[in-house]
Structure 1
Amino acid sequence: MRALLLILLLYPFLEIATLVSLADHFGSGPVLLWVIFTAILGIGMLRNQKLAALLTLGSVLNQGERVSIYSLLWPLRYLLAGILFLIPGVISDLFAVLLLLPFKGPALPVGPRPTGTAEDVIEGEYHRVDEPTDPSRRIN
């Protein structure tokens, strides 16, 4: 527990130290542009979080029998990466990139996909009935 507290207390100082050393090496302009770029990237990722979750669920349903644990956790990883990109600093950006890497995890068995049978089909006939409209009331 103390180690976690120590890491949480040292983390901001490490981020500031890396930003200062990068600014000393490359200049403050490129480092500032990097921080702004990653913040915009994080905002964009957080805005598209719902789309990522929807695409993940769609691909999981299409995979069939085997589903990876890491693919199920992709929306959470994407959300955490977006938050880490919002935090100014290089260390948080590295953790965000690591979260976005496509790891293959152990597969979970999923039951067989249901297929349509003859019992699912309802046969019948229909016809369309439109009410006649007055030609003078139409918008042309």
Structure 2
Amino acid sequence: MPLLRILLLALPLIELASLILLGQAVGVGWTLFWVLFTGVVGLTLIQRNGWGMLQRLQQQMASNRSPFGVLKSGMWGVLAGVLIAFPGLVTDVLAIPCLVLALLHRGGGSGPDDQGGGPHRYQRGEHTVIEGEWEAGTPAPADDDQRLNRP
């Protein structure tokens, strides 16, 4: 836990040092342009991925399906947007793998057969099979009011 606190304190200093080095290399104007450009791109990614993920989550929940696939696909885009929006070069480099994962998982959880981590469901002829857990043993007899084929 102390290492995480030290990293959180050191990150802004590392970002500031990287921006100073970039300013010395390419000039103050280009450095300010880079900071503004990445800020706008990051906020756009957050807005687009956040609202898209929220809408897909609502669709999944309305159709009584698992939201895990949507959360997995949208999380990477939002995280990439946050890292890009934070001014500095180190977080911009860290956002690249997040963008790649967001592109690999884009549209996840929106398909009709995507269960996203829940029980898998498939058709066998005219029957729908839902995978689950089963324990061997003798089942307890059901009460008359709990039977499906009541007279």
| Structure 1 equivalent of residue 20 of structure 2 | 20
Q: Which runs of 5+ in 2 are unaligned?
A: 60-67, 106-115, 127-151
* Contact kept in structure 2, 1:15 and 1:91, CA below 8 Å: yes
Inter-CA distance 47–100: structure 2 relative to 1 (3 Å threshold): same
Structure 2 counterparts to residues 60-99 of structure 1, below 5 A: 73-99=72-98
Q: How many residues align?
A: 106
The offset of 1:112, in angstroms, is: 3.7
Measured in 1, the distance between the counterparts of 2:101 and 2:58 equals 16
Larger RCO of the pair (alpha carbons < 8 Å, separation 6+) = 1
Closer, same or farther: CA 70–55 of 1 in aligned 2, 3 Å: closer
Q: CA deviation at 1:75?
A: 0.6
Q: Secondary structure at the match of 1:102?
A: helix
Q: Is the 8 A contact 1:42 1:86 kept in 2?
A: yes
Whether the 8 Å contact between 2:38 and 2:84 is mirrored in structure 1 is yes
Q: What TM-score do you get using the length of structure 1 for normalisation?
A: 0.60
Q: 2:4: which partner in 1?
A: 4
1:32 matched to 2:41: no
Give the whole-Å Cα distance in 2 for the aligned partners of 1:43 and 1:11.
Answer: 20
Match of 2:65 in 1: none
Q: Is the 8 A contact 2:80 2:96 kept in 1?
A: yes
Instruction: Look up the match of 1:121.
Output: none
Partner residue of 1:63?
none
Q: What's 2:120 paired with? A: 111
Instruction: Tell me how far 1:94 sits from its aligned partner.
Output: 1.1
| Structure 1: tracts of 5 or more residues without a match | 59-68, 118-140
Aligned residues: percent identity?
26
The 3-state SS of whatever aligns with 2:91 is helix
- In the alignment, is the contact (CA less than 8 A) between 2:56 and 2:70 conserved in 1? no
Aligned to 2:101: 102
- Structure-1 residue corresponding to 2:51: 50
1:18–1:71 distance in 2 versus 1, CA, 3 Å: same
TM-score, length basis structure 2: 0.56
2:101 is paired with a residue of what secondary structure? coil
RMSD: 3.5
1:5 Cα deviation from its structure 2 partner: 1.1
**Aligned equivalents of 1:88 and 1:52: distance in 2?**
25
CA gap of 1:76–1:116, structure 2 versus 1, over 3 A, is farther
